[in-house]
Amino acid sequence: AAFHDLTAPLDRLILAVILHCHRSLAKSAAVLSELESPSCSIHFHNEEAKKRNEKRLLRVSLELIEIVGTAYKGRNEVLRAALSSEAFEALQESLDRKAKREESGGKSSLRDARIFLKSEWVASYQDTHTTSEAATPNRVIGKQLQQTTSSHRGSLAIKELKAESVQMVNEFTVALDG
């Protein structure tokens, strides 16, 4: 079970990794969109340099996608419990499409990364809902900000992550000042 007493710290870490990967993939998608625009050529010495940077971005994106896929395969119940149902379904659909492409064509390619970066999961759920307790990503709380079981679990995990972060900062401060 997700966020059980024994696994809660690991599950929060997995959730934090997924949220950071999601944010990084969204930024990668924005950069890729810029690289694909005709006006971007002025920022590079030549077309080869532009292509080289585009490939580099897609290779990094493939690594992030692999991290998300591994977390999904290993602890899918954490993501189901923490993400909004819309975000979880979009993630599941994106990963399923990627798996089907891999089954038919073999190894992941830069084309797969490009397709994944244009998926609903990457393109959506980027906003946050800020309260006095924490800034909670919309991919956790859902579109209508309803407190369903999964969105409540995700919001609680975000608050626990914030508390752990504050505790770590305080411990580091004491250690550095001591």
What pLDDT is recorded for position 131?
60
Tokens for 104?
């038919």
Tokens for 152?
């409540």
Interval 31-40 mean pLDDT: 88
Q: What torsion, rounded to 10 degrees, do the Cα atoms 12, 158, 122, 81 define?
A: 60
One-letter amino acid for residue 75 of the chain: R
Task: Name the least confident of 5-9, 26-30, 64-68, 163-167.
Answer: 163-167
Residue 114 pLDDT level (bands cut at 50, 70, 90): very high
Residue 136 pLDDT level (bands cut at 50, 70, 90): low
Cα 28 to Cα 46, 51, 60, 145, 175, distances in angstroms? 21, 15, 9, 27, 36
Give residue-wise pLDDT tens across range 52-80.
999 999 999 999 999 999 999 999 999 99
DSSP code per residue over 18-78: HHHHHHHHHHHHHHHHHHHSGGGGGGSSSHHHHHHHHHHHHHHHHHHHHHHHHHHHHHHHH
- Which residues are bridge partners to 128 per DSSP? 137
Cα 19 to Cα 42, 47, 58, distances in angstroms? 33, 34, 19
